Amino acid sequence: MRKSGWLIPFIFSFFQIISQNLVSNSTGSFMYTPVGSLSSKTIKVFFHIPNGEIKNMPILFSFHGDARNASEYRDYWISMANQHKIMVFAPEFSEANFPGGDAYNLANIFDDGDNPSQSTFNATNEWTFSVIEPLFEQIKQAVSGSQQGYNAWGHSAGAQFLSRFVLYMPNSKLNVAVCSNAGWYTVPETTIDFPYGIKNGQLSENTLISAFSKKMVVHLGLNDTNPNDAGLRHNTIVDNQQGLHRLERGRYFFSTSQSKGQSLNTTFNWGKKEVANVGHNPQLMANNALTIFLNSSLSSNYYSNPTTFKIYPNPTKDFLFVDTSISKISKIEIYSIIGSLVLSKKLTTTNSTEKLDISKLPNGVYFLKINSSAVKFIKN
């Protein structure tokens, strides 16, 4: 009886999606009914599917801000999706079903996110986060897809939601998260109470270590510096901890997270990208986020056994040696796991072995590229 009770809403929701005819070259919306504890909270999902083969077309979730305007968050991506063949899905977490910041920005982790306690800590299946993976699976079934994971972008409150999703759900099928212009953050600091730090946040060290291994980009507009911007939270705790505006707060979140990763001596696959001449503008940030997703996807084309050079040791700590005796090499480049260039060296000598100092790079996965060949290595 339990199994059939669980299957009924799942099957109903699946056929809701099927009935919307998720096919190539289509734009629209459908109603999604979560299963389990959130089954009473229907979600309208806006989508756009470009022309082309959709069974293996990448899936992108776009998370709206405090205005709950998911249709616009789909529309920001339509032109880019058509050009680069990406399916876009923007779930709308309505104020009626997901009221206030507790239910959306803070994902209902606690009944009252500003006053966390063990007694008000909710079960995982009650978190708003728990909607995403089943929604992905049902979309995948509806398009008869073979996708193994998805990418996600969020702006403002959507970036808050997404950054906490990475922290609290690190075992998800999320490939790359780009968090643009969040108003404030849950920073991995054990001396500051949730929601500004992780003290009393019920986030284990093992979960944090897993979160650091996910690919996430803290994405900041260099002009998003207005401390009086509407909707920007201010109080003594967050102002003193993170700063007065979004750019300052994003930099603090990333640098503190990076230091925490180093203190744990663990892989740190988060990155930071700052965008010149852009403020709190979701369309312009989405335009720039596209380059991150495209660069990150290049890593799937990197192979681990190039024939034109060799590297050692791998994993390594402070230095990486490159055997260049096999062929003539003029430049060596190292990219982060999200596709950002972090080191470049032009070779002016004919040494058969090049020694690269990578001691200042944070622990993580990188790609060393020479000409059209690349190899993955781990810095720990």
pLDDT, tens digit (0-9, with 9 covering 90-100), for 34-69: 999 999 999 999 999 999 999 999 999 999 999 999
Look up residue 100 and give its DSSP letter.
H
Strands of the 331-336 sheet, one edge to the other? 341-346, 331-336, 364-370, 373-379
Spatial CA neighbour of 368 closest among 324, 270, 352, 349: 324
Contact between residue 216 and residue 171 where contact means Cβ atoms under 8 Å apart: no
Ordered per-residue pLDDT tens for the chain, 380 residues: 344 444 444 444 555 554 467 999 999 999 999 999 999 999 999 999 999 999 999 999 999 999 999 999 999 999 999 999 999 999 999 999 999 999 999 999 999 999 999 999 999 999 999 999 999 999 999 999 999 999 999 999 999 999 999 999 999 999 999 999 999 999 999 999 999 999 999 999 999 999 999 999 999 999 999 999 999 999 999 999 999 999 999 999 999 999 999 999 999 999 999 999 999 999 999 999 999 999 876 555 554 567 778 899 999 999 999 987 777 788 999 988 777 889 999 987 777 889 999 999 988 888 998 887 888 888 88
Helix (H, G, I), strand (E, B) or coil at 294: helix
CA distance 182 to 217: 12
Please give the backbone phi and psi of residue 346, each rounded to the nearest 5 degrees, phi first: -90, 135
CA distance 374 to 308: 10
- What is the CATH code of the structural domain delimited by 2-301? 3.40.50.1820
Dihedral (Cα; 38, 200, 152, 172), 10-degree rounding: -70
Contact between residue 163 and residue 220 where contact means Cβ atoms under 8 Å apart: no
Residue ranges per structural domain of the chain: 2-301, 310-379
| Residues facing residue 204 across a β-bridge | none
Six token digits for residue 292: 């991150």
Six token digits for residue 112: 């009252």
Within a 10 A sphere around the Cβ of 354, how many other Cβ atoms?
A: 18
Contact between residue 264 and residue 209 where contact means Cβ atoms under 8 Å apart: yes
CA distance 75 to 90: 9
CA distance 282 to 320: 40
pTM of the full predicted structure? 0.86
pLDDT at 304: 53
Residues in the chain: 380
State pLDDT tens for residues 132-147: 999 999 999 999 999 9
Any idea which fold 310-379 has? Immunoglobulin-like (2.60.40)
- Residue carrying the six token digits 């290595």: 377
Dihedral of alpha carbons 189, 194, 195, 201, sign: positive
Beta strands in 33-173 (DSSP E): 43-49, 59-63, 87-92, 150-155
- Residue carrying the six token digits 């899936």: 59
